[in-house]
Each structure stands twice: as C-alpha cells, then as structure tokens.
Structure 1
Amino acid sequence: MPEFISHDLSLAYEVHGAGTPVLCVHGFGSNGKVNWIDTGWVETLTGAGYQAITFDNRGHGQTDKPHDPELYYPGLMAEDCVALLDHLGIGRAAVLGYSMGARIAAFLAFAHPERVAAAIFGGMGMNLVNGLTDGNDIIAGLRAPKLSDLTHPTARQFRIFADHTGSDREALAACMETSRQPMARADVRRIEVPVLVAVGEADDMAGRPEALAELLPRAEAVLVPRRDHMRTTGDKVFKEAALAFLAKNFPAATIS
C-alpha cells in the first residue's frame, strides 16, 4: 500500500476508481480493507461514479502504531485526514466515517468545513456527545492475557475482532483511551456541512441518530432495520441512504 506522512507518522492508504472523492474513515479495531472493501462499500461507491479513498487510521492496519494515548485524540486523527487530502491534491471531499471514524469525521467537519463537502456518520448517534460507556471494559479486554478471562460481552466482541484482524492490542488500548473523546454540544451545533446520521436499530453503542441529527444544523437521520453496531456497516439500507444523500449534496458529476 502507498503511504503518506502525518505528524511524523506513516499511514497506509489506497485510492479506488476515479471521480468525485469520498474519504472513507474506518472504525475502531478495523482497517481500510475490512471496513470498506470487504463490506462492498468501495464497489458501491465506485459503481456510482465516486472515487473511494481508504486508509488505515493510526494504530491500525499497515499504519504506524504508537502506544502513547496522547496521539489518538479525534482532533489529531482528523488532521491525518487533511494530510491525506493534501497528499492527493484534493481540495474538498465527502467523508464517510463509521463508529470511531464517524467521530473523526465530525471533528474534521468542525475544524475544516472547507475540506468537507458532506459527511456521513455511520454507527454514531448521540454518543458523539455522550461518549462511549463501554470504553474501559474494551481496554481491559484488549489487555487481558486471554479471551477466556473475559465475560463482558462488548469487551469479548472487540477482543475477538482485534485478534481476527491481527491488530496490535496495546496500540488499540491506547487508541481507545482518547479517541472516544466526546464532542461538545456547542461544537456539534456549529457543524455546517450536510450530514447523514445512520445507526442500526439494534445498535446499543451509538446512541440515537435522531437526537444527534436534531443538534446538527443540516442533518437527516436514518435507522437501519434489525442491525446492531457490527452488522450495520455493510447493510444495503445504509448504502442506499448514503448514495441518495451524496446524490443530493455532492453528486458524482461535481468536480472538487
């Protein structure tokens, strides 16, 4: 994978197709391939005339994996997005984020609205503001000597996922300490770009999408039927809603 440098870290990325750019920001413990290629998102976006840009967040995939929690605040990770757009010579892009990636997208849209044509917050509802209640359990699960020691369901879920992706669990634990930083309500209200908030009906990690959409000046919400946090990622309803939202706010004919 090609790489770019952001704040002395080397991050891996891939560019898929040609057309109007969509920057895809994956969730915690995942990577660009698992979150966006394996779920069919890249195929969906490129088939609709978009260029899908995927990358591995710091601490994930083939990107550098520092163990210092101070390096994982969402505002810092949003600067990685800017560095990648700069590296590719892209002025404005739509941003598609899932879970932690949606939190990063929110901080990006707040700090750099001139770079974000539209944003999609998948798997992130009102907990953008309220924070993640299971974070400490997830950290303990990542640092536990073995999976069989864990009884907390969310901790087990993320430990299994981390082992499946061959992740650096200490880097992920450091990431979880600070990447879940809540966004202030006042800052959410100042995000002026169009936003789609999409959350699974059975998602008990994200918080309600409607409540977050009400805070955002230009937002709409979609509830994905019968899906939990993990299974919403590649859901057909989510993809269809995202494409319809992009068509209204950043159509494929747009030149960035």
Structure 2
Amino acid sequence: MKININGVNYYYEWFSSYQADRPTLVCLHGFTGTSQTFASVFQDDRELNILGIDLIGHGKTDYAVHPYRYQLDCLCQDIVLLTENLGLKQFYLLGYSMGARAALGITCLFPSKVQQLVLESGSPGLNDVSERLIRQRSDEHLAGYLLNHSIKEFVKKWESLPLFSSQRSLPTSIQEMVRQERLSQSRFGLACSLWYMGTGVQPSFWDKLTNIKVPVQLIVGELDFKFIQLAREMKKRQPSFSVEIIAGAGHCVHLEKPEEFAKASLNFLKGGSQG
C-alpha cells in the first residue's frame, strides 16, 4: 500500500496480519534494497506486527522528488509521520545498514517513539571531518558512476565489493533474488541516496549514543570485521547496548543467516538475554 507523507508516496506492507493488541516491529532496508528483504525473515512469528517500508528512492516509494527530501532528518521525520498515520504511537525498530543509520536517527531525533531498537550492521556515522570528506567524495563518485552507466553495470560493480563477498556462497536462487531487487531500482533514486543520505553527509550520532535509554541490540556477522569493531566501539560509548555476533555471516546477516537472525532479534525484543 502507499501513503503520501509530505508530498512523497511511501510504499509500506504488513508482513503479518495487523492486530492492535500486539507490538509492531518497523523494518528498514539497506541501500539498493527494498522492504521485501524482510518479508520471509519473521514469517513464523505470531507475537508481533511486522511492518516493512520502502525508503525514499527505493522500491515502490517515490524517487522523482526534490533531492533535499532525501536528507536523513527528512526521512526520519517521514517514517515517524507514516507510523502515526497508521495509528502507531510507539514501535520497535529494526534497520539494516543504511536503514540502520536511519533507525538510529529516528531513535535520537524522536526518542519517545522507539520502544526498542535493533541495528543490523549499523553505524552512527563518521566523527572525523577528514573521514567524512573522503567518504563524501567516494559517494559522489559512485553516484556519478550510477548516472553514467546502466543499472546493470552498477549492480555488477556493487556486487563485487568485498563487503558482500560472503554472499557469493549463498544458493544461486537467493543471489538472483537479491540481484533482481537491485536491478529494479531507479538510478536517480540511488544517486540521490548517496548524495544526500550517504555516510559522508549524514550527521554523526556518536555523541548521542549515551542519551539513548531504550534497549538496543547490535547484530553483526562474524565475517564483517569492520562492523564488529564499530559495534564494540558503540558499546564502549553506551555499555547498555547488547552485541550479538552471528557465526558464518557477513554484512547482510538477515539474508545469509535468516533463522539465526530472527532468533537473536526476536529473543532480544521479547525480553530475552542481553549482553
């Protein structure tokens, strides 16, 4: 279904039958993905409402809008307004990669809305000015490549990144499903995401981690060394955070180890072990 939020038509989908007496888990996908990446992850759960949202520039949500609408603070506000329009006063929140940055932003900017937070392969952004500039230039270069090449050429380049090397051992059918999801995207939408919502331009949330009072779980794959280190650094800033390292998984844990991911996140959200 679609709903207009501040002039942007957002696509959302319930992956479970909605019941007002159950908590709702809002799921935010990563760059080049869509909400469908979570469609089968929690299909066996009967205790939560599962809501997936296509972020701006992705999937069935609008992409041909003013580029400033892609800014992270605008996106965070849109997601909160969307949930309010659906009658959700509060919700659990899950974000993967780019979606994790958005989820963290929502938690920091609208703390009264989020009851619990799960960040999969997430980052609070970059604190160092020089690192931000380097990343910004890198994202701008990638956006330029997007607009000057076909989506097929871009996806081939994107899939070859070391970040996704562990996905090459997945069954061919799953790899093809992910590839088709990426190929379905708008080049303009992806480019705007890089320009206005990339890690290099988003505000850093490192200093805000200590202000977060709700339970937070950081899920990372044991093969994703960079994000393991980020998770550990985040826990140093806010010791109450829980870190869960999933064996045999890389960056996209919910895709590579869906059963383990679902078990870990649901156990956390339902009050299971934290550490």
Report the TM-score when normalising by structure 2.
0.76
SS at 1:41's partner residue? coil
User: Structure 1 residue 144: deviation in Å?
Assistant: 3.8
| One-letter amino acid of the structure 1 residue matched with residue 268 of structure 2 | F
Q: Which structure 2 residues correspond to residues 1-256 of structure 1 after superposition, within 5 A?
A: 2-15=1-14, 16-17=16-17, 18=19, 19-33=22-36, 35-37=37-39, 40-44=40-44, 47-66=45-64, 68-125=66-123, 127=125, 133=135, 135-136=139-140, 138-146=142-150, 153-154=160-161, 161=179, 164-180=182-198, 181-203=202-224, 206=227, 208-216=230-238, 218-233=240-255, 235=257, 236-248=259-271
Structure 2 Cα separation of the partners of residues 163 and 23 of structure 1: 20
Deviations 1:51-109 (A, max 9, x none): 00111111111111036442222221111221121111111110011111111111111
Cα RMSD of the aligned pairs, angstroms, is 2.9
Report the TM-score when normalising by structure 1.
0.81
- Aligned residues of 1:200 and 1:232 also touching (Cα < 8 A): no
User: Structure 1 residue 48: deviation in Å?
Assistant: 3.9
- Aligned residues of 1:213 and 1:220 also touching (Cα < 8 A): yes
Residue matched to 1:254: none
- Aligned residues of 1:141 and 1:156 also touching (Cα < 8 A): no
| One-letter amino acid of the structure 2 residue matched with residue 43 of structure 1 | Q
- Aligned residues of 2:2 and 2:11 also touching (Cα < 8 A): yes
SS at 1:143's partner residue? helix
Report which stretch shifted further, 191-200 or 176-185: 176-185
User: Structure 1 residue 127: deviation in Å?
Assistant: 4.9
Q: 1:121 to 1:143 in 2, by over 3 A?
A: same
Q: 1:221 to 1:137 in 2, by over 3 A?
A: farther
Structure 2 Cα separation of the partners of residues 194 and 156 of structure 1: 28
Residue matched to 2:169: none
Deviations 1:182-216 (A, max 9, x none): 42321222222211011112226645312112223
Q: 1:128 to 1:233 in 2, by over 3 A?
A: farther
Percent identity, aligned pairs only, is 22
| One-letter amino acid of the structure 2 residue matched with residue 237 of structure 1 | E
Structure 2 Cα separation of the partners of residues 11 and 105 of structure 1: 16
User: Structure 1 residue 163: deviation in Å?
Assistant: 7.0
Structure 1 Cα separation of the partners of residues 56 and 236 of structure 2: 31
User: Structure 1 residue 141: deviation in Å?
Assistant: 4.0
Structure 2 Cα separation of the partners of residues 195 and 164 of structure 1: 29
**Structure 1: gaps spanning 5 or more residues:** 250-256
SS at 1:118's partner residue? strand
User: Structure 1 residue 123: deviation in Å?
Assistant: 1.5
Query: How many residues are aligned here?
Result: 241
- Aligned residues of 2:96 and 2:120 also touching (Cα < 8 A): yes
| One-letter amino acid of the structure 1 residue matched with residue 143 of structure 2 | I
